[in-house]
Amino acid sequence: MAENNRNPREIETRQQELRPKKWALPELLPEPDKHPDWGYRWVRVSMLNNPDPRNYSAKLREGWEAVKIEEQPKFRMLIDPNSRFKDNIEVDGLLLCKIPKEFVQDRFDYEANLTEQNAQAVDNSYMRQSDTRMPLFQEKKSSVTFGRGS
């Protein structure tokens, strides 16, 4: 009988081939570290190297406030030395701002209500054009009846 020169399967190890990582497009704006009490947003403060004070002041009136670099230290390397906002985080004309979470939910509720009102207004305007002789929507009902067998 031939000798068995094989090792037991438990002793053998296989090298797994790792797939090479694929290149991915980098994020345009870095994601801030989340805080449970704050909502974050990038606010435009300049466009094409021209200041945009109108947009920034509107966001300030909404309740947004600029995030200090001490609050998000991972952005320390991204600070623009020529920025008007020295102690804040500005990337390509966008300033990182924060607002309390309650305001975020209030704004969401307001916009959802406004959307609902607009949808109702469109539906009412559309249905106003409906005529009984030729309705826009017609309920189609069908019924199934079984005949008598002979």
Would you state the torsion angle of the CA atoms of residues 111, 117, 123, 128, taken in this order, to the nearest 10 degrees?
-150
Adjacent-strand bridge partners of 50: 47
Counted domains in the chain:
1
**pTM (two decimals):** 0.59
First to last CA, the chain: 84
pLDDT in tens, the chain (150 residues): 566 677 776 666 666 666 777 887 777 788 888 888 999 999 999 888 888 889 999 999 999 999 998 888 888 877 777 778 888 888 888 899 999 998 888 888 999 999 999 988 888 877 777 766 666 666 667 777 777 765
Is residue 51 situated within a structural domain? yes
In a domain, 108, yes or no: no
In a domain, 46, yes or no: yes
Q: Which domain holds residue 45?
A: 38-101
Is 75 contained in some domain? Answer: yes
In a domain, 121, yes or no: no
DSSP 8-state symbol, 118: H
> Does the residue 113 lie in any domain?
no
